Amino acid sequence: MFTVYTYSIAGLLVISFTVFVQNIVAAVAHRKQTRYIPGKVSEELSHDSFVFRSHRTFHNSLENIHQFVLPALLCIFLGAQTDVLAILVWAYALSRIIHMVLYYAIATEKNPSPRSYFYMLGVLCTLGVYVLALFQLLF
């Protein structure tokens, strides 16, 4: 049954692995500080600090991953259209990777920043999987 969803499952694996990598990057950046308290990021830090940006990137992904992955899994269990789901999953995965790279690379307080556009693409993909699941459930 799940073999038809191989591309979607592979994309979900990439999404999960991306968050894992973000966790490692944030932990390493945090530990490299001369003064740090495990599990706490100084409130004095802002976007000019890679420690802050890596922490926010990881936590932003934690705040968003379940909102995408759970309905995507429901789409699989409901038998949603495989190609549409795969496109949504991979678009989300790529948008989150680009969001991560831009967050790491660009220290800006400006909003919207370039990363904001890829965040919004991820939000649209999330909305898409909800619509796909709802459509499959109702029709």
Delineate the domains of the chain, giving CATH numbers in brackets. Answer: 2-138 (1.20.120.550)
Confidence band for 1, pLDDT divided at 50, 70 and 90:
low
Q: pLDDT, tens digit, for every residue of 70-127? A: 999 999 999 999 999 999 999 999 999 999 999 999 989 888 999 999 999 999 999 9
Taking a C-beta distance cutoff of 8 angstroms, is the pair 90, 62 a contact?
Answer: no
What are the C-alpha distances in Å from 120 to residues 6, 65, 92, 98, 112? 26, 14, 10, 12, 10
Q: Phi/psi at 21 (nearest 5 deg)?
A: -60, -45
Q: Is 47 a residue whose pLDDT tops 80?
A: yes
**pTM across the whole model:** 0.94
